[in-house]
Amino acid sequence: MEELWHFIGGRRVEGKSGRFSEAYEPMTGAAISRVPLASRDEVREAIADAAAAQREWAAVNPQRRARVLMKFVDIVGREKERLAAILAREHGKTLADAQGEIQRGVEVAEFCIGVPHLMKGEFTDSAAAGLDVYSMRQPLGVVAGITPFNFPVMIPMWKFAPAIACGNSFILKPSERDPGAPLFLAELMLEAGLPPGVLNVVNGDKEAVDALLEDPEVKAIGFVGSTPVAEYVYSHGAAHGKRVQCFGGAKNHMVIMPDADMDQAVDALVGAAYGSGGERCMAISVAVPVGEATADALVARLEPRVENLRVGPSTDPSADFGPLITRAHLERVKDYVALGVQEGAKLRVDGRGFKMQGYENGFYMGGCLFDEVRPEMRIYKEEIFGPVLSVVRARGFDEALSLANDHEYGNGVAIYTRDGDAAREFAARVEVGMVGVNVPIPTPLAYYTFGGWKRSMFGDLNQHGPDAIRFYTKTKTVASRWPGGVRTGASFVMPTLS
């Protein structure tokens, strides 16, 4: 079993707390590494290193910071297969899916190469007699990110690339379930020319998280994970005076209108619901066909497709998706399926009995399909995070829209239709942060921002795009007047432009 480490001050650092967790290879079920869990003192060491490095890094001009990211993008391209292999082995997703995840992370790093332009302030000369006014964006200092198991490469890059580009130093606390890829990313950033201490990786559990949330040197925290933890991180971090952005759970709906291209809709649903075993915050987990005829046609086409999904090890290029992340999570998803049956939903396809020949100890299950799910059922209300799709039948457009609007989560939503008026009205009225029109997973491109509404997001600013630059910087506004300008004498009233 491999012994993992922290990455502090540009070097591998052994854990000192004496506490460890084990990371598993989901396709075999074997424990493959021991992950050290940092104490508060170890987190403090990383913060001190980050604070010392940040002062010099902030003084580096934005163009030079951008060049480090340019080189990093090139290095990740060179190491993409190795990085994907580490990711797939620890997480369980297929190699092709891992490659796609890496690409989506790289695209954010590419966007951040434009930081010399993105950080520009504003200038107004002669705003008043002899008075010039200008603004500048400056880094916050030491910032941190707490990232989830389901995207161990993409989400860390979404966090540290803009933060570092803006002149901050960054402490990453990845999921202890698959920390190998984040550690490798930190080493690649060092190879790209990032000074030691600007990017640190600290493995840990709640003790490490609380240490980051409570330390006054850490100025901002970004989090992605479940809604209960997101709410805790947001409230606890804000109580300690930090800028916080937290992204939580989801229950993403796809509305299928009677005029939709049914073949296109079914292809989209199968990929969006079952890709990566449903372990995506943007996965479609609820299909909402409008009208009984639409619902019957949809379910009739979905059933054979779900029954014939190819589940396999991460290394199988023909697999549609691989195993789930841990045995405990596998059992949790199976329990939700059993609960759905108890609640009265009709289980059209049951993948719980799936076994992978030669990988009997792996964390596999096949796709599951529920029909006639009702909004009061827990399998509808709660995030399952597995290969389970629920069909909720709606009588009309307004009822379908209400389902998405009334749900406590508001991450992503999609509508499939040929009717431009229906699509436009849906996009305008739906109370969800990211909307797809004939697009099943509406994850924005890197130069737009990613973020949900309602209990899918806590905070004011989203991930990547312009919001990331705003989140990781503070604005300073300067009013400047030089000798030789208009002399007005002492004034004791509120200043105005007159």
404 neighbors 412 (Cβ within 8 angstroms): no
The residues that bridge with 416 in the sheet, in sequence order, are 256
**Lateral strand order in the sheet of 20-25:** 2-3, 30-36, 20-25
Distance CA 113, CA 65 (A): 8
Count of residues for the chain? Answer: 498
Distance CA 136, CA 480 (A): 13
> DSSP strand E in 215-367: where?
218-224, 243-247, 252-256, 284-289, 346-349
Q: What are phi and psi of 360, to 5 degrees?
A: -65, -20
Catalytic residue among 112, 166, 246, 281: 281
Residue type, 450: F
Q: Are strands 131-139 and 473-481 parallel, antiparallel or unpaired?
A: antiparallel
Residue 11: how many other CB atoms lie within 10 Å: 13
Angle at 461 between CA 208 and CA 216, to 5 degrees: 35
Can you read off the two tokens belonging to residue 240? 């300690």
Distance CA 35, CA 5 (A): 7
Distance CA 132, CA 320 (A): 60
Task: With H, G, I as helix, E, B as strand and everything else as coil, classify residue 493.
Answer: coil
Active site residue 112: no
Produce one character per residue of 195-221: b if its CB has 16 or more CB atoms within 10 Å, e if not: bebbbbbbbbeeebbbbbbebeebbbb
Instruction: Tell me the C-alpha to C-alpha distance, in Å, between residue 203 and each of 19, 206, 362.
Output: 11, 10, 25
Distance CA 33, CA 25 (A): 9
Catalytic residue set: 281
